[in-house]
Structure 1
Amino acid sequence: MVCFSASLVAQTPTSSSIIQNSLDKKSKMMESSMVKNIEFTNIGPTVMSGRVSDVAVNPENPTEFYVGYASGGLWHTNNNGTTFTPILDNSPTQNIGDIAVDWKSGTIWVGTGEKNSSRSSYAGIGMLKSIDNGKTWQNVGLLDSHHISRILINPNNADEVIVGVIGHLYSANEERGIFKTTDGGKTWTKTLYINQDTGIIDVAFAPENFNVMYAASWERERKAWNFDGDGNNSSIYKSTDAGTSWTKIADNAGFPTGNGVGRIGLAVFNENTVYALHDSQFRRPKGKDKKTSAALTKEDFKTMSATDFLKLEDKKLNAFLKNNGFQEKYRAQNVKQMVRVGTVKPADLASYLEDANAMLFDTQVIGAEIFKTTNGGKSWKKTHDNYLDGVYSSYGYYFGEIRVDLQDENGIYVLGVPIIKSKDGGKTFTSISRENVHSDHQALWVNPKKSGHLLNGNDGGLNLSYDDGENWIKLNDPAVGQFYAVYADTQKNYKVYGGLQDNGVWVADNNARINKSWQQSGQNPYESIMGGDGMQVQVDERNQNIVYTGYQFGNYFRINRETGKNTYIQPKHTLGENPYRFNWQTPIHLSKHNQDILYLGGNKLHRSLNQGDDWETISGDLTTGGKKGNVAYGTLTSISESPFQFGLIYVGSDDGYINVTKNGGGNWTRISDNLPQNLWVSRVIASEHKKERVYATLNGYRFDDFTTYIFMSDDYGQTWKNISSNIPTSPVNVIKEDSENENILYVGTDNGLYISFNQGSSWEAFGNNLPNVAVHDVFVQPIAKDLIVGTHGRSLYKTNLANLQKMTNEVLLKNTHVFAIDNVRKSGNWGRSWSQWREAYTPEIEIPFYSNSSKNVTVDIYSGDVKVNAINIAADKGYNKAIFDLSFSKKGKRDYEKANKKANINKAANDIYYLPKGKYTVKIGDAESEFEIK
C-alpha cells in the first residue's frame, strides 16, 4: 500500500477552475456511467421540508412563483403552490443563495451558494441564468463567489443586474462585494469591495427609482471551531447611480459602528425611508438584565466561595441540581461534602453545565434591533426601546431578513426564530408564528399591491397567508428534506429512519406512498419521533420498537415505540471533570455482537452495557484536545466496531485523528499520522468482509478545501491506500461497503453519489434521477438488497442492488450477461381497461442485462425451442434493462401454435395476444436467463 506523509496538510481553498473542471468531469461521467440505467426513486418525505433561501413571485399573477431552497434546488408553481416542478435539476448544483426573475421576458437568475453561514451552508458555483424557463442553464460568471446574497434586476432594463456577494465562508477571497453587469452577465464590474473578509449580505433598491439602492456589508469568519459574525467593516452603503458607485452612510449617523456590528438586513420603502435589521453583538450594559428570581443560577457559582456554598439551604441547592439535570448522586449533602473536603469547587457546578450547546445559547448580547432612516441614511434612529428577546436567541447570523409593506410605511416584518410584525413602524411587535409554521424564518414576500398577502420561507418549508399572518397554509409539496443521517431496520417490510436539519427524526415504511392521499386519511406515512436537529439512528434488531436517536450535541434517547417512553441517555462527566465535548452530529453505534451494548462518542468514547442506562468511558481524549471557540471542536465524528471481533473499534474525530482499539478500549493506537492532517474524519468504517480492512474518508469543506479524500487499509490502518481515483473534486461525507459483494463500494460527496466495482480502483457516477445534491449518508438494507440514500436537500432516494451485487469480476469480463428475471402472475386484466376513461393495462417485465460495450442487441424470448418474440435495443456499456410487454409477435404466435396444437391463445381486449402460463427463456447472444408466468 501507498504510505502518505503527515506533511500533507490540506487547508488551501480549492480554486474555482478546479471546481469547474470537476463539474464538467461529473457530467461526462454521468453520460458514460456503467450504471446510468439504474434509476433512483425518491421516497420522501414531503410533509417535512428543508430550508428555504428565497422566493420570487409574479407581481401580475401571484399564483405563479419560484422557491429556492438552500440545498434543494429551484422549484416553480403556477397554481399557488398546489404542486411544484423542479427546474434546476439539470444544473451542476442545487445550492441557492438568491433568485430573481424578469417576469416580462421570463429570464431567471440564480445566485448559487446559500447566503446563510451555518455549518451546512454549501458553496455555489457563481451565477446561473436561464432564458427558457429553466430548461437549460448558463453559468454567467462569478465562479469564485461561493455564496451570493442578493440579485437585483433593473425593472426597465433586464440586462442591468446588481449582485451582492458574501464570498467564501471558511476562507478569505477577493471575489466578494457588489458586482454589476449591463450586458446580461457577459461581463461584470466589481463596484464595491471592502476587503477579503467582508462581503455583501443584502442589497435593496427604492421601488420607484432603481438608481437609489442600499447595501449591507458583513465581516464574518467561520472556522470549524469558531464563528465570528461581527466586525468593524460591517456597515451600510448607498448608491445613487444604480450601483455603479457607493458611499458608506452608517458612520456618525446613529447606526452602530465598531467590532460588534453583525449581520444587517435592509427593507426600502422609498428613496429616503429605509429599515435596517441589525444583529448587534455588542454586550448589554451591566445591570440591565437583573435576576428577578431568587433561584440559583449557573452564574452564581462562578465566583462563590466554599464558605458561602456550604451556607446554602439544602432545599435551594437541590432545586438547582435537579432542575439542571445533575445526576442523582449529586444532591445537596454529598456535593457539600465534596466541597468541604476540597474534591470539587463551587465553580465546578457552573463548569458542569457549560457544554458547547449551553455556551452557544448563553451569550448576553443586544441581539436583534431595528433602525430607521427617513432622510436617505443621513441619520438613523432605533425604532424600539426594549430588547427584542427571543427573536434571534444568540445566533442572529442565521437570520437577518426584514420586509416593509409597500402599502404601509409602518408595516414591517422581522424574520428570526419567530416571525414578528409591527404596525407602528417598529415600536411594538406581535408574533405571527402559528401552529403549522416552522421556526427559523429565512425568506418573506409581501405582496406590494395587497397588504396581508404573505409568502414565508423557513427551515421547515413554505407557508402562505392572506390575513397578515393570522392564519397560514403549508405548501410542502417538494421532497427537499436536508438529511444528516439515514438508517433502515431489518423487518421484512423494513422501516426507514432519518435525521434532518432542524426537523427532527422521522420514520416510515420503505414502500410508503409519497403523495397527497394522506390528507384524506389524516395520517402521513412519515412519523416524527424526535425534535431538534435530527441525528443518527440505531435500532435493536431483537426488538425493532427500541430505537436510539436524538438531536444535536449528543442529546440522545432510547425510545420504546411500543410504550411511547423516551429515556434520556447522554453520558455525563463527573463533577470536577472537564465537560465532555459533543459534536453537532454526535456518533452512536449499536454493537452487532450484543445489542445491549451502545457506543457514543464525545471527545472520549463511551460504552454502555445496558442500553444506555449506565456508561463507562473506555478511552482518554481521542482528539487533539479542542480549540478555543464558540463551536464544539475536538470531538469524535465516527464510530465503527468490526463485525468480526467484539472490541475492535475505530473512531475518527473532527480534527483529523483516527484511533483503533483491539481490546475494547484497553489501549488505543493512532493510525492517522500517515494521512493528510487536520481534516474532518467524515467516516471510518470497519469492513464487513475482511477483519483487517478499514475505510476512511476525510473532509476539508471547513477549510473550503473540496479535495476528494478516500482511503483503504488492509492492515488495521497501519498503512493506507488512496482510493479516490477518478472521482471529481468534491468533499466526501460517507463511504459504505456493499453487504454482498466486497468489491463494491458506495461514496457520497457534496455533489452526488458514486459506486466502485473494484474496491476503489475506479468509480462510476451513480445518479439516474438523483440531482447533483449533497449526499450525507447511505445505507445498504441487506435483506431487501436496497440502497437508501440520504441527501442534504432532496430527502431520501432508494434503488435495488440485487443485480448490481452480482456484477462480479467474472460477469464484468463477459460480453453479455442476463441477470435473474422476476416471475409474473397471469391475469385476466392484461389488455383490459377498468373504464372508458383509462388506458388498457399493459403487463411488463424487466429484463436486466450487462453488456461490455455499447452496441445494438437483440433480446430473444423462447418457449422451449420456439421464439415467441424479440426486442431490439441499443445497449449501453454496463447495466441495461429491456422492457418486454409479454406479448407474442405475429410469427411467434404462429410458431407457438404449430408446436402446441392444443394451445388456445385468445386476443385481449386491446387486440394483443399475450403469452400463456409457462416457463420462458430470454437469450441475448450466448447469455440467457429464465422467467415463469404463473
Structure 2
Amino acid sequence: MLILLSSSTHEVHAQSWINTIQDENPTFQSMKTSFYDFWKDKKITKGQGYKQFKRWEWFWESRLLPNGEFPSPTINIDEYQKYYASLSKNKYNKTLSSDNWEFKGPATSPGKYYGLGRLNCIAFHPTNKQIFWVGSPAGGLWKTTDGGSTWATNTDGLPVLGVSDIAIDPTNTNIMYIATGDGDVVLRGGDTKSIGVLKSRDGGSTWSGTGLSHTVAEKKLIRRLLIHPKNPQILLAASSDGIWMTSNGGKTWTNQQPGYFIDVEFHPTDPSIVYASTVYVPYLTSDTVAHIYRSTNTGSSWTSVASLEDVGRIELAVTKSSPNLVQALCSDLSWGLAGIWSSSNSGASFIETFKGTTTTNLLATEYDATGTGGQGWYDLALAINPYNANDVWLGGVNTWKSTDGAQNWGLNSCWSPSINQNPNQIQTIHADKHFFAYHPLDSGVLFECNDGGLYKTTNSGKDWIDLSNGLGISQIYRIGVSQTVEDNVVCGLQDNGSKLIDSNVWAEATGGDGMECIIDYTNENIIYTSVQNGVIIKADFEQGTQEEISNNIPAGQKDSTSPSGAWITPYVIHPTNPNILLAGYKKVYKTTDQGDSWSAISPELTSDNLNLITIAPSDPNTIYASTFDSLYSTSDGGINWQYIPIGIPQAQISRIAVDPANPKKIFITISGYIVGSKVFVSPDGGQNWYNYSGSLPNVPVNCITYLKGSNEGLYIGTDIGVFYTDASMTDWVPYQNGLPNVIVSDLEISYNDNKLWAGTHGRGLWKTDLYTGAVGIETQNINKEIYIFPNPNIGKFSVQVPDNKQYDVAVYNIHGEVVFEQRQIHSSQNAIELNHVKSGVYFVRLTIDNTTISRKIIINK
C-alpha cells in the first residue's frame, strides 16, 4: 500500500533542546542541563533524537579533560605516538609471544530491521562499476571490488577510524581523500573526532595528512568532501567552520566562506557553479538562520541565495537530467521537516515547493508522517534520479519516495516490522538514513547508507538488497562469553541489537540497542541481554522463549514508577549459583530464580544510577557497586552497605575487578585524561588505594579483567588498544598485535579454550590467546621457591631464596626509578627496610643464576 502525502497548511515550528543552548561555547555539563530541562515534562518517543543524545552523553562523560572540557581531536593520537616512542624494544617484544588478534565479526546480518553498524558515505570508482568505497563513523574505510559481495579495509592502522566522506581522483584512482571523524552528528565530538582530511597516493594502502588538519581542541567536523570532476587538484570541504578549498591536491587549504556548512554539491554539467548549505544551531554559529550559498567561480567566493528562518539543517541534491534544478531538504528547529525548497535556475533563487506540517512530517518516526520533531540533526538524506528528475528520495528515520518531483510522497521503507508502527506492512529497512547516492556507471541503481549498513535497489525501491555482509564496523558496548562452548559469545551493539556467535555462525539474539549481556556459565542456551536504561531480557534458546525479566522488578518496568537505569544498566550473574543475578539502578536488586522475581538488597545508594556491579568470586556476599565517581560495598550480601572513598580527584570509575582469591583486593580503572591515574588497587576493600598505572598512556581506560589462577594477570582495554601486566612484570605492556587502533569497550576471558575476547567500539569482536610469556622451566622452578613476605607491608619485608644462592635485588617504583639496590647477597633470607619511600606499589627485581624475576609488593605506611 502506497501512502501519498502532499503538503498542507498546518505548519509546526517547535523548538529543539539544542536550540535552547545560549552559550556560544557550551560545556558538556551545560549541554546536559539544556537537554534534561527540555525533556523534563515531555514524553520520550522514538525519532526525536533522545537516544542519540543519551549515547553521546555516555560516550563523552568518561572522555572529558580534568577541567570538564572536551579534549583535543588529536589527544589519543598524540598519546599513542608518545607512548610508543618511549617504549623500549624489549618491552614491546613481550607482546609478541602470545597476542595475535583475530577478527570474529559480526560481519553477517539478515538485514531489514537488523544490521551491523552505521555508514556515513559511499564513493564510486570512475570506470569500474564493481569497485566502490564506504565510510563508517568509527570503523574506517572499506572497499569492495565485486559490487558489494565482499569487503576489505586497510585503515586499521590509522590513528582515527571515523570517515565522513570520500573523494576519488577521477583521473588516477590511486589518489584518494577521506574526511575524518563523524560529521553527521550536530553535537560537539560526534562518534569520533576529526583530524582533518587525509590523502592516499597508493589506492588507500597508506595515508598521510594534508594541509587541512585539526591539531588543537577546535571541535571541528567535516561532513562533505568533493573533488572537481575535471581538475582533481581542486577539492572542497564542507566543515563546521566554513567551506575549505584547495587547488593543489590538498597541500594548502583556504577558508573561502565562514559558517557551519553541512553539504556541498557541484552543478552536474558546469563545475564552476557550486552549491553549499549550512546548519543553524545557536551555540554553534553566530548566524540567526540557515543558508543556501552559491558560487560561480568553483568555490573561490560565495553568495547567500536563500536565508531560511526556522530551519535547522539543509541537505542538497542535483541531477544531470535537469542540470539547472537544485532541491534543498530542510529540517525545522525541532529537527522535523520544515519543507523542501527548489531552484530551477542553477541556484540563483529558491522557492518553497513542499511544506512540512503535522501531517506531512517526513522526518518523523510515524508511518503516516504525522507528529512533530525528528532527527534532522542526525539523519537527513536527499537524492534525485540522474535520469529522471521526477524521482526523488528523502531519508530521515524512514525512506520516502516521490515520482512527481517532490510534490507527493509515499513511504518506501519503514524502520519497524511491527504492526503497530507499520500497519500497512511496508518493507522494513534499517532506521536512520545518512546518505543516498545513485551509481554513476549503473543506471537506476540507488544506494542507501543507514545505521545498519549499506543497501541498494535496482528496481526503484520495490526491493532493497543488503550489501553489508563483510563489513566489520559494529560498535559494541558489552560482550558475554560462554564457559561451556568454544567460540560462543553474545555482543550488545549500538543501533543493532544483541548478536550471538556460536561456532563461527552469527545470529540475532534480541533487537533494540544491545547493552550488557551474559551467557549462563552452566548452560549456553540461557542468555541475558539488555536495552538502554535498564530493560533486561532473558532468552532460553532451548525452550524458544524470551522475556523482559526487568518487568518483574518491584514496580515493574511496565509501571510508570519502574526503576530506570543508566544508559548501560549493570547486572551480573552469581559466581557459583547461575540462578542468582544482581541488577543496579539507584538500588541493587537481586533475583534467585533467573529474573522471575526480584527484591531490593540495598537502600537507594545514590541519586544517580549505578554504572557498575561486581561480585567477589571467592565470597559472593562481598559486592561492589559504583557510579562514575562513587564506590559502595557490602560484605554481608546487602544487609549493610558502606561508601568507599577512593581519594582520587576527578576520577571517573570505568570498571571494577576483584581478585578471584581475595574479596578485599580490588582493582578499578579510571577513564578520562588525568595523567598517571589509570588503574588503582586496594588490598583491603577500599580502605587504602595505590596507583597501579605504571607508564600507561594518558588515554581513557574502559575495562579490566583478572585472569583466574594467574600470577595476578590483568588485561585492560583502552581507547587505543589492550595492555597486560602481572606480578612478575614491572609495568604494563601492549597486547594488541593485529588489533586495530580502536576503542576497546569490553574484555572477557573464555576459560574453556583460554582465549581473551575484546569488544570494540567500531571494529566489532576480536579474540586472541592469553598471555603465556617466555618463561623457561628453570625460571619457573626458581620462581616457585622465592618468597617475599609480608605483602602488603609497612616498608619492611624479607626476601627468601633457595639453597643460599647468591643474588642481586633492586626495588623500583611505578615510574621505573630505583629506590633500593643491593648486590651479591648470600643469605637465603634477607630483610629489607625502605624507610624513605611513600606508600604505593613497588616492584622487587631479583637476579639469580642469570635469571631475573620480578614481584609486585604494596607498601602501606
> Which deviates the most, 461-470 or 659-668?
659-668
Read off the aligned partner of 2:202 and give its amino acid letter: D
Q: Which of residues 436, 440, 460 is equivalent to 2:452?
A: 460
Q: CA deviation at 1:18?
A: 4.2
The answer (yes or no) to whether the contact 2:336–2:375 under 8 Å persists in 1 is no
Q: 1:477 aligns with which of 470, 481, 484?
A: 470
Decide whether aligned partners of structure 1 residues 613 and 208 sit closer, same or farther in structure 2, where only a CA change above 3 A counts. Answer: same
Letter in 2 for 1:151: L
Query: Residue in 1 aligned with 2:421?
Result: none
Residue 645 (structure 1) shift: 2.2
Distance 1:483 1:182 in 2: 40
Cα distance change on mapping 1:10 and 1:711 into 2, 3 Å: farther
2:203 alignment partner, one of 116, 128, 133: 133
Q: Which residue of 1 aligns with 2:194?
A: 124
Q: Which residue, out of 96, 102, 126, partners 1:36?
A: 96
For the pair 1:649 / 2:641, whether they are aligned, the reply is no
Structure 1 runs not aligned, ≥5 long: 1-6, 167-175, 223-227, 283-364, 513-524, 626-633, 815-924, 928-934
In the alignment, what sits opposite 2:40?
Answer: none
Q: Are 1:191 and 2:247 matched, yes or no?
A: no
Alignment of 1:90-489 (within 5 A): 90-106=157-173, 107-117=175-185, 121-140=191-210, 141-144=212-215, 147-166=221-240, 176-194=241-259, 199-219=260-280, 232=288, 234-251=290-307, 255-257=308-310, 261-269=311-319, 273-282=325-334, 366-367=336-337, 369-375=339-345, 376=347, 378-384=349-355, 387-389=359-361, 391-393=363-365, 394-433=374-413, 437-448=429-440, 451-475=443-467, 476-489=469-482
Relative to structure 1, the CA distance from residue 737 to residue 236 in structure 2 (aligned partners, 3 Å threshold; closer, same or farther) is: farther
Cα deviation code 1:146-170 (max 9, x no counterpart): 532111112222222211223xxxx
Cα distance between partner residues in 2 of 1:426 and 1:71: 33
Partner residue, 1:780: 749
| C-alpha deviation, 1:24, in angstroms | 2.0
Residues in 2 aligned to 1:676 and 1:803: alpha-carbon distance in whole angstroms: 36
Give the number of aligned pairs: 678
Q: Is the 8 A contact 2:658 2:706 kept in 1?
A: no
Tell me how far apart the structure 1 counterparts of residues 234 and 542 of structure 2 sit (CA, whole Å).
61
C-alpha distance in 2, partners of 1:202/1:706?
39
Q: Summarize deviations over 1:98-137 as a string: whole Å, max 9, x none.
A: 2111131221111111123389712233221101111211
Give the equivalent residue in structure 1 for 2:155: 88
Shift in Å at residue 27 of structure 1?
Answer: 5.5
Shift in Å, 1:242: 2.8
Write the distance in 2 (CA, Å) between the matches of 1:217 and 1:642.
Answer: 54
1:658 and 2:631 matched: yes
Helix, strand or coil at the partner of 1:526: strand
One-letter code aligned to 1:501: Q
The letter of the residue matching 1:496 is: V
Query: For residue 506 of structure 1, what is the aligned residue in structure 2?
Result: 499
| Structure 1 letter corresponding to 2:463 | N
Question: Which residue of structure 1 aligns with residue 702 of structure 2?
Answer: 733
How many angstroms apart in 2 are the aligned matches of 1:578 and 1:549?
22
Displacement after TM superposition at 1:469 (Å): 2.1
For residues 755 and 103 of structure 1, do their structure 2 counterparts lie closer, same or farther at Cα, with a shift above 3 Å needed? farther
In the alignment, residue 94 of structure 2 is paired with which amino acid? M
Residue 805 of structure 2 corresponds to: none
Aligned match of 2:18: none
Q: Structure 1 CA distance, aligned partners of 2:681 and 2:405?
A: 61
Sequence identity, in percent? 31
Indicate the residue corresponding to 1:635 in structure 2.
Answer: 609
Check 1:672–1:9 CA distance in 2 against 1; reply closer, same or farther (3 A cut): farther
Contact residue 282 and residue 288 of structure 2 kept, 8 A: no
Between the aligned partners of 1:764 and 1:240, the Cα distance in structure 2 is 56
2 CA distance for matches of 1:809 and 1:531? 53
Q: Assess, with a 3 A threshold, how the Cα gap between structure 1 residues 239 and 649 changes in structure 2: closer, same or farther.
A: farther
Q: Aligned in 2, Cα 1:457/1:373: closer, same or farther, shift over 3 Å?
A: same
C-alpha displacement of 1:234? 4.4
Change (3 A) 1:665 1:209: farther
Structure 2: distance between partners of 1:597 and 1:812: 41
Does the aligned pair in 1 maintain the 2:572–2:581 contact within 8 Å? yes
Secondary structure, counterpart of 2:430 in structure 1: coil
SS in 1 for 2:81: helix
What runs of 5+ residues in structure 2 fail to find an aligned partner?
1-63, 110-115, 366-373, 414-425, 784-849, 853-861
Per the alignment, residue 630 of structure 1 pairs with: none
Instruction: Work out whether residues 230 and 263 of structure 1, in 8 Å CA contact, stay in contact via their aligned partners in 2.
Output: no
Shift of 1:777: 0.9
1:13 corresponds to which of 70, 77, 88: 70
Matching residue of 1:695: 667
Aligned partner of residue 60 in structure 1, secondary structure: coil
**Cα distance change, pair 607–221 in 1 and its aligned pair in 2 (3 A):** farther
Mapping for residues 649-798 of structure 1, pairs under 5 Å: 649-654=623-628, 656-671=629-644, 674-677=647-650, 679=652, 681-700=653-672, 709-758=678-727, 762-798=731-767
Please state whether the residue corresponding to 1:116 is helix, strand or coil.
coil
8 Å contact kept, 2:256–2:302: yes
> Secondary structure of 1:570's partner?
helix
Letter of the aligned partner of 1:13 in structure 2? F
Distance 1:539 1:451, change over 3 A: same
- After TM superposition, give the deviation of residue 640 of structure 1 in Å: 0.9
Deviation at 1:787, TM superposition (A): 0.5
Pairing of 1:552-567 with structure 2 (within 5 A)? 552-567=532-547
CA shift, 1:16, in A, is: 4.9
Report the AA paired with residue 316 of structure 2: L
Deviates more, 1:262-271 or 1:480-489: 262-271
Please, what TM-score do these two structures have when normalized by structure 1?
Answer: 0.67
Q: Secondary structure of 2:271's match? A: strand
Q: Is the 8 A contact 2:142 2:151 kept in 1?
A: yes
Q: Residues 170-219 of structure 1, C-alpha deviation per residue, up to 9 Å, x if partnerless?
A: xxxxxx3332222222222223334xxxx332222222233332333335
Q: 2:294 aligns to what SS in structure 1?
A: strand
Contact 2:256 2:300 in 1 (8 A): yes
Residue 699 and residue 264 in structure 1: after superposition, are their counterparts in 2 closer, same or farther (change >3 A)?
farther
Offset at residue 761 of structure 1 (A): 5.3
Partner residue, 2:521: 541
3-state SS, counterpart of residue 109 of structure 1:
strand
Distance, in Å, in 1 between the alignment partners of 2:462 and 2:728 is 57
CA gap of 1:39–1:583, structure 2 versus 1, over 3 A, is same
State whether structure 2 residue 480 is matched by structure 1 residue 493: no
Across the aligned residues of Structure 1 and Structure 2, the Cα RMSD in angstroms comes to 3.5
The letter of the residue matching 2:252 is: T
Equivalent position to 2:137, from 65, 70, 82: 70
Matched-pair contact (CA < 8 Å) for 1:33–1:766: no
Deviation at 1:718, TM superposition (A): 3.4
- SS of the counterpart of 1:52? coil
Q: Give the C-alpha shift of residue 426 in structure 1.
A: 1.6
- How far the C-alpha of 1:804 sits from its partner, in A, is 4.5
Q: Rg: which structure is higher?
A: 1
Distance 1:102 1:496 in 2: 42
SS at match of 2:96: coil
Structure 1 residue 40 displacement after superposition: 1.2
Following superposition, the deviation at residue 384 of structure 1 comes to 4.5
Q: Under a length normalisation based on structure 2, what TM-score does the superposition of the two structures give? A: 0.72
**765 and 263 in structure 1: CA distance in 2 versus 1, 3 angstrom threshold:** farther
Q: Rate the CA distance shift 1:493–1:78 in 2: closer, same or farther, 3 A.
A: closer
